[in-house]
A and B are shown apart, each in its own frame.
Chain A
Amino acid sequence: MIYGAWICLLSPLAAAGLITLTGERISRRTAGYLATLSCFVAFGGAVVTFIGLLGREGEQRSIVSTAWTWISGGSYRSGFEVMIDPLSVFMMLIVSGVGALIVAYSIGYMDGDNEERRYFAYMALFVFSMLLLVQGGNLLLLLAGWGMVGLSSYLLIGFWHERPSAIAAAKKAFIMNAIGDATMALALFLLIKKAGSLEFGILGGEYSSTVATLVALGLLGGAVAKSAQLPLQTWLPDAMEGPTPVSALIHAATMVTAGVYLIVRTHAIFESAPHVADLAAGLGAATLLIAGLIALVQVDIKRVIAYSTMSQIGYMFLGVGLGAYANGMFHLMTHSFFKALLFMAAGIVIHALADEQDIRKMGGLRQLMPRTYLAFVIGSLALVGIFPFAGFFSKDSILAAALDRGAYGYVLWVAGLAGTFLTGLYTFRLLFVVFWGEPSPFVREHFHALERDVVGLSLAIPVAILAALSVAGGWIQWAPLWHPIETWLRTAAEPTVSPENWQEWVSSGLALLFGLGGMYVAWLIYGARRLPVPRFAFPQRVLEHKFYFDELYDALFYRPTVWAAKGLHRWIEEPLVDESSSSLGHDTRDLGRIVARAQTGLLRTYALAIASSVAVLAVVFVAVR
């Protein structure tokens, strides 16, 4: 079982290294197969670990396996170790499973690109990094995985590096993530000072409320950055510059969910700092509303789905902030299924339309791509949370948990319900605009169907699998009736809220109603064209500018930094470098000139000097005697 965990972790790394070293000696397709194979091997390892863990009970379900001491300083040690417990296995299965499907899909999607090998090496590196993050046996390795995930994301977003917009987006993503890394590091320093170690167990220790709040805040900063929640959410939409499978893997299923995982993993410290947990829930709620609103005006197919991701992760943050850890993780799982499905279906559409992503140019694809349309429908229904699709079971239990938390909880509950309406609205807006109606002129001109070959198969099969999971996957847990996930995760993270059954039914009912309401309004406006598209100038502008966050950050951070750098260079560096040495030279020369005046060249001056010095010496000599 321990070997299973190590194989899971290391197999994608091995693939990445192998692809990098062999370079052009293997074909591009081979690189793809290699990467996919390594992810399936990782999944196999995860399954083996899962089975092994099933055989154990309760407290025994937590093992740390150390390979070697990674770093040390005095009495502080951190090993290169993996943690095997229900939570990590849960994540391992999702990451490697969905990851393998997406890498398989990439074989078809990226076919024909010159740099396929680099792509697959980066994808394998990413899967490794994400696995390190979820399997890391101590907080330092978690941070290591955290950073590597940010790096892989940079590499993949900026994959088509000839495009300045892609490079800019990649840098933005990395730097915002680096801010999160920095706050997490500060939290870890505080922990080292107080507890002397970074093993997960120390999180349950006794800390003063200030210390616990600071640590939790630092961790939350990292979570917010990685999961693109308010206030560090601006990098996610730009990240759509990367290839679509990248968006599916990183910005739907795995990387952005890392923040949720972090909070659950370190739940002990969040429980010691309840205000920070409430803050997390609040940020989640705010993000889900704002993202939902912005999604209403987006015209790029991938950006709509991206904002949808941001919104859904807001739900997850809401859940884990309130203490409903299992519910949050369950939604993480179902979300990875249907969001990846949506991205992959969108990818097929984009490919079919010669890489066009503007939905205003699309329309009427329902007849031309029936299977893709079906996948999209399944994904959308799951996303909105319609029974019996996956999202219904996971999202509603989060809302129910909010009811268990008093007045603040009610506010969050209302926000969540409003978000459900928005979800229905923007999701089906997208569906109707892209697939319904008559095929637009652009579509008629550029559409070409997919071939039936390896490419086509590699695109179709993962989509089909994910569609099936989106339909059936939710049935694993239906909160009032059966909840194996909660039981499974109980030893790793005991939930602190447990909604009553009636709360569950009420939430589910209302959420379903609101979701259907959103769908209906979307149908009215975009599907059946009964109502005109609302056009309110000011809100439209605000939404299109994404609430002006980019402009705010530009003014607050980027401009001052550049200005400071310019100022320092002009006022300090140039004088320091140029004049320090030239002033040294000039001063020395001036001093020399002054002293040189004694050298008159006249014999008599020198003679006088000698004579007078002798006289003085003689006087001194006599006087001293």
Chain B
Amino acid sequence: MMGPGTAWYLSVAGFLFGVGTLGVLIRRNPLVVLLSLEIMLNGANLALIAFARHLNDGDGQIFALAVMAVAASEVVVGLGLIVALNRKRVPLDVDRLNSLRG
């Protein structure tokens, strides 16, 4: 089947991954960091599926499903932590959450 070449999918995936990384590194709100993390994961997923189609191998798609499951669990934990932080009236600023300092 035709459509845009694999390279286009990969570039979109790369773009998504880059945006997500930038978001993780730059933003201060943990909720936004979590969001960016999700975007990174999606980018990776897209890359997996693109390669699966390109190499005619179903393994990539299976793996993408696994990644989705993991992402979902991790979001649950992350959101739970953020909600707990909010309840305790801790400022939601990544730069000020450093009590695990060595």
Q: Which residues of A are in contact with B by a Cβ distance under 8 Å?
A: 596-604, 607-608, 611
Contact = CB atoms under 8 A, between A and B. Distances in A.
11 contacts: A596-B102, A599-B100, A599-B102, A600-B102, A601-B99, A601-B101, A602-B97, A602-B98, A603-B94, A603-B97, A611-B21
Interface in B49-102: 94-95, 97-102
Contacts of B94: 602-604
A596 B100 CA distance: 11
A124 to B, nearest CB: 76
A141 to B, nearest CB: 71
A589 to B, nearest CB: 13
Contacts of B100: 599, 601
A601 B94 CA distance: 10
Contacts of A600: 98, 101-102
A607 B25 contact: yes
B93 to A, nearest CB: 10
B73 to A, nearest CB: 20
Contact of A608 (B25, B30, B101, B102): B25
B102 A604 contact: no
Contacts of B24: 607, 611
Contacts of A603: 30, 33, 94, 97
Contact of A599 (B25, B30, B101): B101
Contacts of B102: 596-601
Contacts of A598: 102
B24 to A, nearest CB: 5
A596 B33 CA distance: 25
A601 B25 contact: no
A597 B102 CA distance: 7
A139 to B, nearest CB: 71
Interface residues of B, number: 13
Contacts of B98: 600-602
B28 to A, nearest CB: 8
Interface in B5-37: 21, 24-25, 30, 33
B23 to A, nearest CB: 10
Contacts of A597: 102
A96 B95 CA distance: 99
Interface of B: 21, 24-25, 30, 33, 94-95, 97-102
Nearest to B98: A601
A245 B30 CA distance: 101
Nearest to A598: B102
B25 A611 contact: yes
A597 B24 CA distance: 22
A67 to B, nearest CB: 75
Contacts of B97: 601-603
Q: Most A CB atoms within 10 A — which of B24, B97, B99?
A: B24
Nearest to B100: A601
Contacts of A607: 24-25
A401 to B, nearest CB: 92
A597 B95 CA distance: 16
Nearest to B26: A604
B99 A602 contact: no
Given A611-B21, A611-B25, A604 B101 contact: no
A596 B102 CA distance: 5
Contacts of A602: 94-95, 97-98
B102 to A, nearest CB: 3
Nearest to B28: A604
Nearest to A605: B98
Nearest to B99: A601
Q: Most B CB atoms within 10 A — which of A597, A599, A604?
A: A604
Contacts of B101: 599-601
A601 to B, nearest CB: 3
Q: Lowest 6 A-B CB distances belong to which pairs?
A: A599-B102, A601-B101, A601-B98, A596-B102, A601-B100, A603-B94
A184 B1 CA distance: 107
Given A599-B100, A607-B24, 7 more contacts: A601-B99, A601-B102, A602-B94, A603-B33, A603-B94, A604-B95, A608-B25
Q: Most A CB atoms within 10 A — which of B21, B100, B101, B102?
A: B102
A608 B95 CA distance: 13
Contacts of B95: 602, 604
A607 B30 CA distance: 13
A599 B101 CA distance: 6
Contacts of B33: 603
B85 to A, nearest CB: 12
B38 to A, nearest CB: 15
A206 B59 CA distance: 95
A71 B37 CA distance: 82
B5 to A, nearest CB: 21
A596 B30 CA distance: 24
A598 to B, nearest CB: 7
A145 B95 CA distance: 86
Contacts of A596: 102
A607 B25 CA distance: 7
A283 B33 CA distance: 100
Contacts of A608: 25
A600 B94 CA distance: 12
Nearest to B97: A603
A130 B94 CA distance: 92
Contacts of A611: 21, 24-25
A597 B25 CA distance: 20
A598 B100 CA distance: 12
Nearest to B21: A611
B40 to A, nearest CB: 10
A602 B99 CA distance: 9
A266 to B, nearest CB: 77
Contacts of A604: 25, 94-95
Nearest to A595: B102
A500 B95 CA distance: 116
Q: Most B CB atoms within 10 A — which of A597, A601, A611?
A: A601
A601 B101 CA distance: 4
Nearest to A603: B94
A565 B43 CA distance: 76
Nearest to B22: A611
A602 B98 CA distance: 5
Nearest to A593: B102
Nearest to B24: A607
B35 to A, nearest CB: 14
